[in-house]
């Protein structure tokens, strides 16, 4: 089986970063068009409001988070998901310890480095 299409894959827990208090990030795989990232949030974590040009899909694996965008908010629990277009102001916070899978397109160069 050819692995020509695989640009990067990581499953080593040592590759987890802590970009802000209460959040851990692990880049799982990416190509120039697509990126899969695991985020874990500690109960009480409040993410900074931000924008980025990437489209983003958020899938809650476990836990309970609040996701805010464009003046709306959604309480998301295990099995819930949301899609955010690029350049939309958004933020998230965690009501309990939570795990989220994020898919970005195109990939985030700032996460890949």
Residue 24, judged by CB atoms within 10 A of its CB (0-12, 13-18, 19+), counts as: middle
Predicted local distance difference test score (pLDDT) of residue 86: 97
Instruction: Tell me the DSSP string of 30-56.
Output: EETTEEEEEEEE-TT-BPPPB--SSEE
- The predicted-structure confidence for 73-98, as pLDDT tens digits, reads as follows 999 999 999 999 999 999 999 999 99
Helix/strand/coil percentages in the chain, nearest 5: 5, 55, 40
The answer to whether domain 8-112 has CATH 2.60.120.10 is yes
CA atoms of 77 and 1, how far apart (whole Å): 37
Predicted local distance difference test score (pLDDT) of residue 12: 57
- The predicted-structure confidence for 10-53, as pLDDT tens digits, reads as follows 655 458 999 999 999 999 999 899 999 999 999 999 999 999 99
Model pTM score: 0.87
Given pLDDT bands bounded at 50, 70 and 90, which one contains residue 3?
low
CB 100, CB 25: distance < 8 Å: no
């Amino acid at each position: 089986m050819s692995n020509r299409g695989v640009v990067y894959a990581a499953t080593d827990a040592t590759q987890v970063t802590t970009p802000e208090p209460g959040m851990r990030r692990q880049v799982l795989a990416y190509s120039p068009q697509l990126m899969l990232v695991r985020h874990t949030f500690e109960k009480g974590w409040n993410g900074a409001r931000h924008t980025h040009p990437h489209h983003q899909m958020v899938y809650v694996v476990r836990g309970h988070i609040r996701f805010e965008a464009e003046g709306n908010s959604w309480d998301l629990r295990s099995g819930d998901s949301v899609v955010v277009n690029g350049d939309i102001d958004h933020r998230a916070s965690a009501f309990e310890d939570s795990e989220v899978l994020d898919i970005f397109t195109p990939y985030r160069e700032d996460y890949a480095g």
